[in-house]
Structure 1
Amino acid sequence: MYWIGIIFLFSTFLYAQSAPLIIEQIHSKVFVHSTFNTFNGKQYAANGMYLVTKKGIVLFDTPWDKTQYQPILDSIQKKHLLPVIAVFASHSHEDRAGGFEYYNKMGIPTYATKETNSILKANGKAIATNVIELGKNYKIGGERFIIEYFGKGHTSDNTVVWLPKYQILNGGCLVKSTDATDLGYIGEADVNAWPKTIQKLMNQYPKIKLVIAGHDNWKMQGHLEHTLKLLNQN
């Protein structure tokens, strides 16, 4: 699989670019989407993923930039000649579930855990139309994925996506990029539980080929180890 090598060929130049939506291929069936927003006056990229199946595209995490809710659908349709048939969010924040209202109105099935829906509802946000079954082996259009919850960390409801066939992990905001110098927003974090959560994840999946960090440069290795390092310094 060619993607194993190409992740080392890129650097942080991606995140200096002004394109509001960047889609990059890491496998014939797996793509990373990055959109941008600001936090504390600094621009950051938010990374999600999508999976190409015979029935359509499964989108993991909505764009952080609301102006990209429709463009990502258009880009996917143009690139693959397939519609987005499901949208999963890894937790309740805007960079993950912010597009639920938009996609619900379009009739695209949206998915979140019971806890994520509860948090969204409590904050007056649109909830998912379907509830994620944690640990379930989802099978759609010849592809498989599993949504797992290993414990509290960045938030109480942060989940990850595991693609067993490709050994790719979409870490969401639970996993910090190797470029990160701090833990970012921790207003809803449990920094005491977070290291244990990461360790459980690493124990569950000892042979991960690629981890996609929730923000900024995802193209290097060592995100999980770097997340632990940052937590130990906190």
Structure 2
Amino acid sequence: MKTKFLLSITLLLLFSCDYNTPKLYQTETLKLQAISEHVWQHTSYLNTQSFGKVECNGILVIDDEEAVLIDTPTDAESTEELYNWLQENDIELKAVVPTHFHVDCTAGLNFLHKKGVESYGSYLTLLNASRHHQPIPQNAFKDSLTIMVDDHEVKFKYFGKGHTTDNITAYIPSDKVLFGGCLVKALGWSKGNLEDADTIAWPESLSELKLAYPDVKKVVPGHGKIGGMDLIDYSIELFTKK
């Protein structure tokens, strides 16, 4: 109870400030920050040949001592660090959902499976993960899935091809927060890794996403800074340009 009280006080302080508020939790390998009443952004790091050291975002939806994780951190060690932070705050991780099959979404799945955490992914993610020898979610869904965190919906949906053929998004209506994942680009970012992309379908998928959630207030991209619906507009323009 004491830990939960301190967590609530920290949240109150965080929400009186803007996105530049110092992180609640930060090490060299993991950052955690509350971005709304029930949603936390996690950021870990991936060393790449083409783009150097890249910040990779995911989110946690937390309420009433339970949580759902969207995308794991980029390796087992930082996933364990996040898991331990939840444990120290008496929060049970009830499920994890990677938004596509790449390592910056799935790297921590095997660790979490050993801890008894259920994982879910679109059937396309399961197929792609298997083909590319990445960790595989335990349970499949077709186009959409809703998971409850206490009485808060986390709505997962597939809008079409883009960064990959399987990229999905997560929307939390109560907080009006959208996790666009790698389907959505942060302002000023390039097209990024296109190895598994469909750049023709990408703008249409984004347009469908924008139509589905007109009330979104905050958008979290897979990489880079949080924003609003302007991130979706920027991403549409980026992939519409010839």
Task: Give the TM-score normalised by the residue count of structure 1.
Answer: 0.88
C-alpha displacement at 1:92, in angstroms? 0.3
SS in 1 for 2:35: strand
The answer for the alignment partner of 2:38 in structure 1 is 29
The answer for the alignment partner of 2:60 in structure 1 is 50
The answer for the alignment partner of 1:144 in structure 2 is 153
C-alpha displacement at 1:4, in angstroms? 7.9
Compute the RMSD of aligned alpha carbons. 2.5
Bigger RCO (CA 8 Å, 6+ sep): 1
1:64 aligned to 59, 71, 74, which one?
74
Q: Share of identical aligned residues, percent?
A: 25
Q: Is the 8 A contact 1:55 1:140 kept in 2?
A: no
Give me the whole-angstrom Cα distance separating, in 2, the residues matched to 1:121 and 1:135.
20
The answer for the alignment partner of 2:219 in structure 1 is 211
C-alpha displacement at 1:6, in angstroms? 4.3
SS in 2 for 1:226: helix
Unaligned 5+ runs, structure 1 = none
C-alpha displacement at 1:219, in angstroms? 4.5
- Taking a change above 3 Å as real, the CA distance of residues 32 and 72 of structure 1, as seen in their structure-2 partners, is same
Instruction: Give yes or no for the alignment of 1:230 onto 2:235.
Output: no
C-alpha displacement at 1:129, in angstroms? 1.3
Q: Is the 8 A contact 2:62 2:149 kept in 1?
A: no
2:208 aligned to 200, 206, 212, which one?
200
- Taking a change above 3 Å as real, the CA distance of residues 146 and 134 of structure 1, as seen in their structure-2 partners, is farther
Give me the whole-angstrom Cα distance separating, in 1, the residues matched to 2:214 and 2:119.
30
Deviations 1:83-128 (A, max 9, x none): 2121111000000112112211222111111110111112223311
Which aligned pairs between 1:1-234 and structure 2 lie closer than 5 A? 6-7=17-18, 9-10=19-20, 19-39=28-48, 40-54=50-64, 56-78=66-88, 80-132=89-141, 134-180=143-189, 182-219=190-227, 222-234=230-242
C-alpha displacement at 1:41, in angstroms? 4.9
C-alpha displacement at 1:205, in angstroms? 1.2
Q: Is the 8 A contact 2:67 2:149 kept in 1?
A: no
Q: 1:24 corresponds to which letter in structure 2?
A: Q
Give me the whole-angstrom Cα distance separating, in 2, the residues matched to 1:133 and 1:82.
29
Q: 1:128 corresponds to which letter in structure 2?
A: P
Give me the whole-angstrom Cα distance separating, in 1, the residues matched to 2:17 and 2:233.
21
Give me the whole-angstrom Cα distance separating, in 1, the residues matched to 2:86 and 2:188.
28
Give me the whole-angstrom Cα distance separating, in 2, the residues matched to 1:212 and 1:126.
24
Q: 1:187 corresponds to which letter in structure 2?
A: E
Q: 1:160 corresponds to which letter in structure 2?
A: T
Q: How many residues align?
A: 228
Give me the whole-angstrom Cα distance separating, in 1, the residues matched to 2:93 and 2:112.
10
- Taking a change above 3 Å as real, the CA distance of residues 65 and 166 of structure 1, as seen in their structure-2 partners, is same
Q: Is the 8 A contact 1:59 1:86 kept in 2?
A: yes
SS in 2 for 1:128: coil
